[in-house]
Amino acid sequence: AMTRVKAELPARALKLGAEELSLDVEPPDPQEPVAWRPVAALCLASCAHFYSVCSIFSYAGIMSTELGWAADRDSAGTFAGFLQSANVLGRMPTATFWGWYSDRFGAKSGLCWSMALIGLGNVLFGLVSDRNLAVIIRFVVLGMGNGWVTIFCPFAMDLAGAQQQVKLTSVVFSAGTLAQLFGPAVGGWTYGFWPAFPALVPSLLG
């Protein structure tokens, strides 16, 4: 009998501890909707991120030839491909930094800095005429300065909680997919609107 009582005591203690904790902490309501304004802001941020990556796809080769970065269109493929991938390569060395920054100063602060640097990078790239400077801008400002991929997930957790994080993530990345779909078309259509700076208009739209 004493052995049975001793065996039941830890189970009862755990049960009482769980009941006590349940009085102090209430689980989030999975049915409570997330505020639409932050969700809309995240969707726009996702669109800005993906647009900065893919809008150049449709005119990188032509731009390289017209600005004298390549001898002709037949030989522009190598440089155009590197130009398009420079910002993606730039995100690799700073991904850990953006994670640290998000933990230290908050995901919202990191998101604001990332969007500001994306805007700055788009303007600078639209005004550039030197091939080396163009690569540096896309690698450093649009790449290293863009922490969206690292910051978004903890930001979504803070905003929606564990119950609705997946739903929020799907909505935001769906918006980014639209930018991937229409970004190259918009970039190609608006390229050359300003002959002196042919990439400025499509860059400003981002």
What is the Cα–Cα distance from 131 to 69, expressed in whole angstroms? 6
| Lowest-pLDDT range of 12-16, 26-30, 83-87, 199-203 | 12-16
User: What pLDDT is stored for residue 71 in this prediction?
Assistant: 85
150 CB neighbour count, 10 Å cutoff = 22
Question: 59-84: per-residue pLDDT in tens?
Answer: 999 999 999 998 888 888 899 999 99
Question: 162-199: per-residue pLDDT in tens?
Answer: 888 888 999 999 999 999 999 999 999 999 999 999 99
What is the Cα–Cα distance from 76 to 2, expressed in whole angstroms? 85
Tokens 């830890």 identify what position?
Answer: 10
What is the Cα–Cα distance from 22 to 89, expressed in whole angstroms? 47
> Above 70 in pLDDT, residue 8?
no
SS3 label, residue 128: coil
- DSSP track, 83-117: HHHHHHHHHHHHHHHHHHHHHHH-HHHHHHHHHHH
> Above 60 in pLDDT, residue 9?
no
The per-residue pLDDT of the chain, averaged, comes to: 85
* Average pLDDT, integer, range 25-46: 75
What is the Cα–Cα distance from 101 to 153, expressed in whole angstroms? 14
> Above 60 in pLDDT, residue 23?
no
The CA-atom distances, in angstroms, between 187 and each of 37, 55, 66, 148, 153 are 27, 5, 16, 21, 28
Q: Which domains does the chain carry?
A: 35-204 (1.20.1250.20)
- Confidence band of 19 (pLDDT split at 50, 70, 90): very low
What is the Cα–Cα distance from 54 to 57, expressed in whole angstroms? 5
> Above 80 in pLDDT, residue 22?
no
Question: 190-202: per-residue pLDDT in tens?
Answer: 999 999 999 999 9
